Structure 1
């Protein structure tokens, strides 16, 4: 759910916080923490809201037992928490850590409740049990496809191609029925790897500009597109991916596409929602998403330490910036039944919209 696009390799000697002592007198932990603070000061999207003289001092005060690289864990967690970066993370000796606490949000649902957390974990466990794509024809000849969480953090391109074609094959199966429109369900999508999700949906959106990332909320710092069915995000794409093959390009028809989002749509799931927002004949339905709508950078600061702060927001092609999740075009509150996702009032309302 975490790493998407930006891959920058930074050696610790390149960074030095201005108020600190000479690097040559520091332990490895002090040098690494110094580098992480410097990266946050220059790259974090939250950097302008911070008194850095205070935060730097308070972060270093939490560094104890500097003989161990693990001593940076508490200070960096504190740093991320004070930044308000709850999507960013860091890795120490192959173990991942995040900010402590939860992001404060103004949403209609209780995202802090144990019930919410338990349901999110249940969705996660269900997603891990199967990598098959759920799709079917609903009443009135409307095609439904669920795009799940896709985990492939090691960047295995064969796995990316496999996931892409699972989505494409399901769309082609549904297209045989000549559906009136499509429902793309992201409500159980907790994130993962975005490229196979978008390239899979490239069967429907063969060629499209799909927005990108922004640092200032005004202009794109990175632009994304789908070309001949294959997603391109900045300089990233899935190499050697064949073209689409079942001729169901939505962009050349007047078929409507309803994209379902909700409180459990997170990270890469939110990226897909952002990418589809404002496309031709597309509307988003449901609830405001989880709020992890940022791109995380990747900075290697030591052989066993990587820092992944949020460095940009998702921005749709209409230049809507998604600072705290993706807000649907039509908001519909629901008690989402992840075991039976084609039931419920959201499905009924989108079927009605497609039929209009």
Structure 2
């Protein structure tokens, strides 16, 4: 009977190989390896057990698409609310996480519905006001133009009588932070504004303002052609809320530790990780993972969200500054500076 057993085992092995091409197994293992090596949340997962589970789930997969459920299973175990998977035309996010729209006031929802716009003005004739929205542009030209739009908008409302600046990030859900920082570079002043750390606490990135340019890990990402002078000594109140997310949170964090600066409003959306993208085999297959936590200029990590120093829940009246409780709280603080 022994030869028959051996023959059956060989036939079973050949059948299994026929069901799953080597390319698919490599695809699966590569995805698992990428998560284990790069995810900021990799320590939450027992990878030996996870690998076994995924292999069992995908044992009959013959294509990358058929292997996707196993990859999604592993990704969900990370608890990554900021990252996503790309399977061809599908963008997959962990279904356990969704924006906490219940915390967003009707007023802010209405303001956001008007689209991504920069708003600027003055408050009480002595404070410059600017609202900076989401911005997703990535090309050098898009980045430069948006950074200059921010700066030009701010400069329109800076006068000899300006005593402080209110930066409103309640409509800023993220995007590309480089032009946002560049647009406010003369407000932030020269020096580090944030660093990023990996899951072991090692510094993986550094963002610096240098003469109206934003330098990330030694590479200049955005620059201003001109500005309206040094505003780095001005007191600044930054308003945040539940829509403030990702790069919007990073922008708020960049003011933490700046002299005469304060955060006002409500806790942010909670997307305070830095993401990185990784390609997988196949046509348009890959993953975006949270690889590190945002930290401020002193190295403090923000693993949950960004919280204001002056907490004002509700009271939003975005287009009527005199009746907006968050703006009025910012004014009250600025009046004391």
Which TM class, normalised by the smaller chain length? Answer: 0.7 to 0.9
Alignment of 1:209-220 (within 5 A): 209-216=192-199, 218-220=201-203
Matches of 1:316 and 1:201 in 2, distance apart?
17
Matches of 2:203 and 2:59 in 1, distance apart?
41
1:338 Cα deviation after fit: 4.8
Structure with more relative contact order (C-alpha pairs < 8 Å, separation 6 or more): 1
- Please tell me whether residue 111 in structure 1 is matched to residue 100 in structure 2: yes
1:92 Cα deviation after fit: 1.9
Matches of 1:61 and 1:197 in 2, distance apart?
46
Matches of 1:86 and 1:63 in 2, distance apart?
24
- Please tell me whether residue 173 in structure 1 is matched to residue 156 in structure 2: yes
The equivalent of 1:288 in structure 2 is 267
Change (3 A) 1:116 1:49: same
The equivalent of 2:299 in structure 1 is 319
Q: Would the aligned equivalents of 1:203 and 1:244 in 2 still touch at CA under 8 Å? A: no
Change (3 A) 1:335 1:26: farther
Farther-moved stretch of structure 1 (211-220 vs 74-83): 211-220
Equivalent residue for 2:227, pick from 213, 236, 245: 245
- Please tell me whether residue 308 in structure 1 is matched to residue 285 in structure 2: no
Farther-moved stretch of structure 1 (279-288 vs 161-170): 279-288
Matches of 2:106 and 2:82 in 1, distance apart?
19
How many equivalent residue pairs?
318
Equivalent residue for 2:247, pick from 268, 287, 310: 268
- Please tell me whether residue 224 in structure 1 is matched to residue 212 in structure 2: no
Q: Deviations over 1:222-255 (max 9, x none)?
A: 111111111112244336x3443311x232x3x2
- Please tell me whether residue 84 in structure 1 is matched to residue 79 in structure 2: yes
Matches of 1:329 and 1:52 in 2, distance apart?
39
- Which blocks of at least 5 consecutive residues in structure 2 are unaligned? 1-15
Partner SS for 1:244: coil
1:166 Cα deviation after fit: 0.5
Change (3 A) 1:158 1:347: same
Partner SS for 1:203: helix
Give the superposed CA RMSD.
Answer: 2.7
The equivalent of 1:159 in structure 2 is 142
1:257 Cα deviation after fit: 0.1
Matches of 1:58 and 1:235 in 2, distance apart?
41
Q: Would the aligned equivalents of 2:104 and 2:242 in 1 still touch at CA under 8 Å? A: no
Change (3 A) 1:262 1:112: closer
TM-score normalized with structure 1 length: 0.80
